[in-house]
């Protein structure tokens, strides 16, 4: 085995070793009941924030989401991503929330990682919890 090969095998062994160590530590990522409680609280807080936004005008008129979607009716988060005719492409739930902000509510679209967008998504999906996932369904 020449020097080049030795180096190759050394780096291969090292790489594999590090890879394994990496996955082992990923598995060992533990959390406590206190963590779970905290995360649940943060989630519930986000859903409540979304609930409030859903019942408030988000655009330039006085229209709010609940007027057309009481209790998030007809929002069908479980069917996303899916092709949306209005957008002419496969869209996410956030894209359709923005479509309604821009059209019925006559407002400016939110960036998809806007905390308000995340709250709206949390509220809408929470209202539909337990409904089987059906991506692409119309
Ligand atoms: C004036 C009535 C009206 C208001 C107000 C309204 N929407 Fe909609 N919404 C619609 C219509 C109409 C559609 C289109 C239905 C379709 O073609 O899928 C729709 C579709 C949606 C969809 C996709 C539904 C599906 O079946 O795929 C979501 C999600 C949604 N709206 C969320 C919102 C949110 C969030 C707000 C508040 C910013 C809002 N809507 C405000 C009328 C409204």
Please provide residue 105's backbone torsions phi and psi, each rounded to the nearest 5 degrees.
-90, -10
**CATH class of the domain defined by 52-129+134-138:** mainly alpha
Q: What does the pLDDT read at residue 118? A: 98
Compute, in angstroms, the gap from residue 98 CA to the centroid of ligand 1: 9
Ligand 1: does its nearest atom lie under 6 Å from the Cβ of 72? no
93 within ligand 1 shell (Cβ under 6 A) = yes
Question: Which of 68, 70, 88 is the best mutation target for the ligand 1 pocket, counting ligand atoms within 8 Å of the beta carbon and taking the most?
Answer: 68
Q: Minimal CA–CA distance to 96: which of 108, 116, 80?
A: 80
Which residues, listed in sequence order, are joined to residue 91 by a DSSP beta bridge?
82
Q: What is the pLDDT of residues 79-133, one digit of tens each?
A: 999 999 999 999 999 999 999 999 999 999 999 999 999 999 999 999 999 999 9
Max CA pair span of the chain = 77
pTM, to two decimals: 0.84
pLDDT at 12: 44
In this predicted model, which residue has the larger pLDDT, 131 or 23? 131
How do the domains of the chain map onto residue ranges? 52-129+134-138
> Of ligand 1's atoms, which has the minimum distance to the CA of residue 85?
17
Supply the pLDDT for residue 17.
Answer: 45
Say what the pLDDT of residue 45 is. 98
Which pLDDT belongs to residue 26?
53
Do you know the residue count of the chain? 138
From start to end of the chain, where are the E strands? 82-84, 89-91
9 pLDDT more than 90: no
Interval 37-71: pLDDT, tens: 999 999 999 999 999 999 999 999 999 999 999 99
């Amino acid at each position: 085995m020449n020097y080049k090969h030795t180096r190759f095998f050394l780096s291969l062994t090292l790489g594999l070793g590090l890879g394994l160590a990496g996955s082992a530590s990923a598995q060992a990522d533990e959390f406590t009941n206190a963590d779970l409680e905290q995360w649940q609280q943060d989630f519930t807080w986000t859903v409540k924030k979304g609930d409030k936004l859903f019942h408030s005008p988000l655009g330039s008129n006085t229209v709010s989401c609940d007027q057309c979607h009481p209790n998030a009716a007809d929002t069908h988060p479980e069917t996303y991503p899916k092709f949306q005719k209005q957008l002419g492409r496969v869209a996410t739930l956030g894209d359709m929330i923005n479509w309604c902000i821009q059209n019925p509510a006559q407002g400016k679209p939110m960036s998809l990682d806007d905390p308000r967008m995340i709250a709206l998504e949390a509220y809408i999906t929470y209202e539909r919890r337990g409904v089987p996932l059906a991506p692409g369904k119309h």
